[in-house]
């Protein structure tokens, strides 16, 4: 029987040195890989700093003001407040308010000659709207307390529900003219019930209407839909 002698001590030392070198190389490679991976991850996904809420609001407001006919404007108006006025723009320009009776309002002078105390107003709701609320306000300026100051009072107001594109005619009473500080306004607003989109402040407004007789301001007739 042949017996194999154990490995020579010198060979064992060489083997151990080789193992140590391989381990050292592998460890260095692992450290390099780990560092590269961490650097890659840090580069690929940097931490995103959150903007201050007031900055977000300001940027949103600027976008809305720059594009008053955009969906962003409507979203801003609905989410935040009424500071940003969203205009209807060309795609909603079929919204119309027309004074059918008496002298027509003069847009150049901002006034109208004296006319009847009951004004018939034709209103066409924006065709892009769905179910629409039409709000009609009749207000006047009069020195009711005798101090000579201009005071704004609401004579009557009414709301009507129509569909977008519908045309209705309403009869609106106006107050007697006060020569010291008088003048009568009729304002019409349309609001899409579902989206909250609405016409602007001056889209349907007659300012400075005059009626010498006017109606009884203590017992005015209601605004009436006549067609």
pLDDT, tens only, 118-169: 999 999 999 889 999 999 999 988 777 777 667 788 999 999 999 999 999 9
Task: Specify the residue for token string 């020579």.
Answer: 8
What confidence tier does 182 reach under pLDDT thresholds 50, 70, 90? low
Q: Which residue has the tokens 């008088």?
A: 182
Please provide the size of the chain in residues.
227
212 and 145, same structural domain?
yes
- CB neighbours of residue 88 within 10 Å: 20
* Last-in-domain residue among 86, 112, 137: 86
37 against 195, higher pLDDT:
195
Note whether residue 152 is domain-resident.
Answer: yes
**152, HSE (Cβ side, Cα atoms, 13 Å):** 7
Q: Is residue 206 part of a domain?
A: yes
203 and 97 inside one domain: yes
Q: Do 55 and 41 fall within a single domain?
A: no
Q: Is 81 a member of any domain?
A: yes
Instruction: Specify the pTM.
Output: 0.68
Residue range(s) defining the domain that contains residue 38? 9-45
Is there a single domain that holds both residue 103 and residue 155?
Answer: yes
If asked whether residues 172 and 106 sit together in one domain, one would say: yes
- Same-domain pairing of 78 and 97: no
Model confidence pLDDT, tens digit, residues 95-110: 999 989 877 767 677 6
Same domain as 118, residue 30: no
Comparing CA positions, the residue from 176, 115, 170, 181 lying closest to residue 147 is 181
In a domain, 2, yes or no: no
Say how many domains are in the chain. Answer: 3
Residues 106, 195 within the same domain: yes
Q: Is the pLDDT of residue 92 over 80?
A: no
SS3 90: helix
The residue among 68, 86, 104 that closes a domain is 86
Task: Please answer whether residues 76 and 197 qualify as being in contact, where contact means their C-beta atoms are separated by less than 8 angstroms.
Answer: no
Same structural domain for residues 138 and 174? Answer: yes
Assess if residue 171 is contained within a domain: yes
pLDDT number for residue 187: 94
Shared-domain flag, residues 114 and 15: no
Which residues partner with 192 through β-bridges?
A: 132
Residue 63 lies in a domain: yes
Of 135, 126, 197, 193, residue with least CA distance to 166:
126
Residue 4 inside a domain? The answer is: no
Same domain? 26 vs 66: no
Average pLDDT over residues 187-216: 87
Give the end of a domain, one of 86, 115, 136: 86
**Which residues face 185 on adjacent strands?**
139
Q: How far apart are CA 170 and CA 217, in angstroms?
A: 19
In this structure, the answer to whether residues 220 and 143 fall within a common structural domain is yes
Q: What is the DSSP letter of 106?
A: B
| Residue 191 pLDDT > 80 | yes
What pLDDT score was predicted for residue 190?
Answer: 93
Query: Is 3 among the domain residues?
Result: no
Tell whether the model's pLDDT for residue 192 goes beyond 80.
Answer: yes
């Amino acid at each position: 029987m042949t017996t194999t002698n154990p490995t020579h001590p010198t060979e064992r030392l060489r083997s151990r040195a080789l193992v140590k070198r391989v381990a050292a190389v592998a460890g260095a490679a692992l450290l390099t890989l780990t560092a590269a991976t961490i650097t890659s991850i840090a580069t690929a996904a940097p931490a995103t700093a959150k903007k201050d809420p007031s900055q977000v609001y300001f940027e949103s407001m600027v976008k809305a003001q720059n594009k008053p006919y955009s969906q962003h404007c409507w979203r801003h108006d609905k989410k935040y407040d009424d500071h940003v006025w969203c205009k209807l723009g060309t795609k909603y320009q079929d919204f119309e308010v027309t004074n059918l009776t008496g002298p027509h309002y003069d847009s150049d002078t901002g006034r109208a000659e004296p006319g009847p105390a009951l004004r018939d107003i034709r209103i066409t709701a924006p065709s892009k709207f769905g179910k629409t609320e039409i709000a009609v306000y009749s207000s006047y300026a009069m020195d009711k307390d005798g101090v000579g100051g201009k005071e704004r009072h609401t004579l009557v107001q009414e709301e009507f529900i129509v569909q977008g594109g519908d045309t209705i005619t309403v009869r609106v009473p106006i107050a007697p003219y006060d020569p010291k500080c008088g003048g009568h306004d009729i304002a019409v607003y349309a609001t899409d019930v579902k989206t909250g989109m609405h016409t602007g402040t001056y889209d349907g407004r007659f300012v400075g209407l005059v009626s010498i007789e006017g109606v009884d301001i203590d017992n005015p007739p209601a605004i009436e839909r006549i067609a």
